[in-house]
Amino acid sequence: MGITIGEITKGMTLLYNGTLYEVLEFEHVKRGRGSAFVRAKLRNLKTGQVLTETLRDSDNLEAAFLEVRPMQYLYQSGDSFVFMDKETFEERVIPAAVIEPIRGYLLEGMEVTGLYYQGELVKVEPPNFVELRVVDTPPGVRGDTAQGGDKPATLETGLVVKVPLFVQVGDVIRVDTRTGAYVERVS
């Protein structure tokens, strides 16, 4: 199904020049003269490569509809990540380049969502919130700031997020996977 540039949204999956892309960012540009266009940052769902493209209504753009299936993250094997489709129990191997944006949110055994295009797994999405243990953070010093303040914390997956000063090593915190932001301390 062909779409116009006015229908492009962040997170949308497009078929552009025969290749499947996810829209990471976009900006509609309308000049005084000439036709409008969209400047978009696209991620190739097969290779993980990110490119910036100028899209016009004359371009061959199609919305790609993805089938959603429950999956489980099993383990990392070299430069690949192994997932199991919970409906068919098939193991699917995905290159690290494709998983890189969500790598810091993955724990072995975690339930994730697999997105399939024409029977092929093209993207994996973690849950909206994950709970991860803090393995390293500097001690919070009272009086450093007038109001609150944050410090970096390294989590068990290697992800680094900003946390309030009261968070300590060993605490479990909830992180929003859509923004990468600290939400709350769980324990």
Question: Is domain 5-63 in CATH 3.40.50.1100, yes or no?
Answer: no
Residue with tokens 């605490």: 171
pLDDT of residue 185: 92
Domains of the chain by residue range: 5-63, 67-125, 129-185
pLDDT of residue 169: 93
Of all residues in the chain, the percent with pLDDT exceeding 70 is 95
pLDDT of residue 91: 92
* Least confident interval from 32-36, 64-68, 83-87, 165-169: 32-36
pLDDT of residue 72: 95
Architecture category of domain 129-185 in CATH:
Beta Barrel (2.40)
pLDDT of residue 146: 52
Domains 67-125 and 129-185 share a fold: yes
Give per-residue pLDDT as tens, 73-120: 999 988 899 999 999 999 988 888 788 889 999 999 999 999 888 888
- Spell out the CATH class of 67-125: mainly beta
- Using the CB atoms, write b or e for 26-63: b if 16+ within 10 Å: beeeeeeeeeebbebbbbbbbeeeeeebebeeebebee
